[in-house]
Amino acid sequence: MDLKDLYRDVILDHNKQPRNFGRLDPADARADGHNPLCGDRLSVFVKMNGDRVEDLRFEGKGCAISTASASLMTEAVKGKDKAAIGALFAKVHALLTQQDVVPGTELGKLAALSGVREFPARVKCASLCWHTLNAALERGTATVSTE
């Protein structure tokens, strides 16, 4: 299976059956994100255990890429500490925005997001959840817009 097939299959799967979808109550942190270019809106809820994300969920409405990216992100960051999440975000951001970046095995299913960079207008769809998670981790409760 080539990367384009993987991209399509993973995006479709996580869009149709998003993992960790729904409200988390109680949550230690929450942030709301909005991409006005395509109308994506999502909320990220985080339960912390010290500096580590114990649980993470999201809810909202968005395009297939936005929903799939949020689903993939929640699977990837559960159990990680803030520093590891920051490093992972940097790798995903580079994957989405830099043509010469080759996805490493440490990204797992997140490597499928590399297909998004072929559609520059959709990069904000894929990165909205990551910016929203960062806002929740940094500020507890926040609103993010990818204008």
The residue behind tokens 């993939």 is 72
Q: Quick one: three-class SS letters along 71-116?
A: HHHHHHHCCCEHHHHHHHHHHHHHHHHCCCCCCCHHHHHHHHHHHH
The overall pTM is greater than 0.85? yes
**Top-confidence residue, 7 or 127:** 127
For residue 141, pLDDT beyond 90: no
Helical packing angle, 123-139 and 64-77, nearest 10°: 40
For residue 104, what are its two tokens?
């490493």
Q: What is the predicted pLDDT for the residue at 127?
A: 95
pLDDT digits (tens, 9 = 90+) for 32-51: 999 988 899 999 999 999 99
Mean pLDDT of the chain: 90
Decide if 79 contacts 87 (C-beta within 8 A): no
